[in-house]
Amino acid sequence: MLTPVRWGKGCGYLAGFRGDVGIDTTAAPVFARPPRTRRSTGELIASTEITAGWHHSAGNDPPEYGYSATLTVAARTRSVSGSFPQLALGLVLDTPHKRIGANAITTLKPLAALGLPTAFAVVDRAYTDQQPAHFAQPARELGYKLALDYKVDQRGVQGSAHGALLIDGSLACPLMPDKLAQATTGLDDAAIRTPSQELTALIAAREPYLLRLKQSANTDGAIRFQCPAAGTSPSVTCPRFDRLHQRGPSRPTAIDLTDARQRAAHSAAKPRVLPPQPDLKADQLPKICSQHTITIRKNDLGHLDKFRQDLAYLSSSWIGTYKSVRANTEGINGRLKGHDLDLGNAKNRLAHGRVAQTILIALLVTVANDHFLDAWRHTHQPPDEPDTLADTPQTPAEPFDGTPPAGQSRPSPTP
């Protein structure tokens, strides 16, 4: 299935790919009848497709009997301007709702061997529900950042570590105003898909209180975060921090009121944290308040680590990443099922057994990838323009005189 991907990379078609991927499962129905009860005798009749099951989609569509195909798709975020073909980069076929996180990781592992970059892995709520060791942690170990969504009862304050609150996947100051911390608590999916102006304003007001990344993950997965009141450019002012760390009041400085950057950098323009009165004693404070930084290790959040993501939930950067990649993912699912080969038509795959079904679906996706490449090339590459060989030299079977192949031909896949 990856052969067209190697061809595309060897021709330079994936030069604009920045490493963002979307991962989702789609139904792969089988021709066999599902288990049923015989009306005359009441006995249970098994299906000939014994490893299949009912695939339930997130929408209101009825369940389909068959397998779930986990697909990883080359996608782009709203900030990416380069063009590249939309290809399926990975495929795993399995019994529906089994090994969801592990199958996603299986599709990601071969991409490093292809020399493809890593950026954001965007997934729906089925993956957010996986145990951290099954999806979130191995995905980060492969170099991916995560953009996630949550169920209704998972939104808002999700937990804490070293005193810092985990709010919609981001670590924040424990003294963030409750109105901001609870801005998404109990909101239904409709309110999340189309945020109101009030919700958008509350999400934006959260940003100064979020802990800032001080040091990316080391080989053990430990990450350092900085208190928002610490550093040379704090995003909030905090009397507790000033008292503990003996930071005196800043000296008055003249600023140019016509300069937006100078106005925003002034302490008077920053939110002020309001500790309780009387405040806690120094030996009673959480670690995030008694130190400039905290280190979050792999197991510090426990099972709540599955909620942690790398963009502030519902922020403009999250929307530009999550919604764009999800649209790409749904788009390729639709193209695979609307294609002449039609992955969703069980009559195109009459063989029984998961192995046979895996081979047939892999062939269908391979041919679809080949069509996607051709369609992209005819749209973005002039007919007389030669393909560009990228990265490594080719090793064709016949002697190679150094002349690039013609635009209508395709070079051999790179090793």
Q: pLDDT tens digits, the chain, 415 residues: what are they? A: 899 999 999 999 999 999 999 999 999 999 999 988 888 787 888 898 999 999 998 767 789 999 999 999 999 998 887 789 999 999 999 999 999 999 999 999 999 999 999 999 999 999 999 999 999 999 999 999 999 999 999 999 999 999 999 999 999 999 999 999 999 999 999 999 999 999 999 999 999 999 999 988 888 889 999 999 998 889 999 999 988 887 655 566 676 666 666 566 666 668 999 998 888 888 889 999 999 999 999 889 999 999 999 999 999 999 999 999 999 999 998 889 886 788 999 998 999 999 999 999 999 999 999 999 998 988 887 665 555 554 444 444 444 444 444 444 455 544 4
* Distance in angstroms (rounded) separating the CA atoms of residues 234 and 226: 10
As given in the structure block, the two tokens for residue 268 are: 């008077």
Contacts of residue 170, Cβ cutoff 8 Å, sequence gap at least 6: 206, 210, 211, 308, 309, 312, 313
DSSP H/E element including 199: helix 197-206
Which residues make up the CATH 3.30.420.10 domain(s) of the chain?
A: 1-148+309-415
Q: Is 59 helix (H, G, I), strand (E, B) or coil?
A: coil
Query: Within a 10 A sphere around the Cβ of 145, how many other Cβ atoms?
Result: 17
Specify the DSSP class assigned to residue 33: P
| Helix locations, 45-98, DSSP H | none
Return d(Cα 4, Cα 263) in angstroms, integer: 53
pLDDT of residue 262: 57
Q: Does domain 1-148+309-415 have CATH number 3.30.420.10?
A: yes
Q: What is the pLDDT of residue 379?
A: 86
pLDDT of residue 400: 43
Q: Per DSSP, which regions of 101-200 are E strands?
A: 120-122, 145-147, 157-161, 164-167, 170-172
Q: What is the pLDDT of residue 385?
A: 57
- Do residues 227 and 240 touch, judged by C-beta distance below 8 A? no
